[in-house]
Amino acid sequence: MVHRIDPSNTITLIDANVLDRVGGPEDAVVDRILALHEEGRVLLNLPHSVKAEIEHPSTPAPVKRRALALVFTLPVSLTPEETCRHRKVRNLVRGNAKPGKHDRDAYHVVESAKYGGYFITRDERLIKKRAEIAKFLGQTFAIVTPTEFLEVYDRVEKQTR
What is the model's pTM? 0.90
8 A C-beta contact, residue 44 and residue 144? no
Tens of pLDDT, residues 31-89: 999 999 999 999 999 998 888 889 999 999 999 999 998 999 888 888 898 888 888 88
- Per residue in 102-145, pLDDT (tens digit) is 678 888 888 888 887 899 999 998 999 998 988 888 778 899 99
What are the structural domain ranges in the chain?
7-160
Q: pLDDT confidence of 95, banded at 50, 70, 90?
A: confident
User: CA–CA distance from 106 to each of 46, 52, 110, 150, 160 (Å)?
Assistant: 15, 15, 6, 23, 34
The one-letter code for the residue type at 21 is: R
Choose between 92 and 7: higher pLDDT: 7
What is the C-alpha separation between 111 and 8, in angstroms, rounded? 19
- Residue 71's H or E segment, with its range, is strand 71-72
* Cβ atoms < 10 Å from Cβ of 22: 12
Taking alpha carbons only, the member of 159, 151, 150 closest to residue 36 is: 150
Does residue 24 register a pLDDT over 80? yes
β-sheet bridge partners, residue 120: 14, 144
What does the pLDDT read at residue 99?
65
Residue-level pLDDT at 101? 63
Domain 7-160: CATH superfamily is 5'-nuclease (3.40.50.1010)
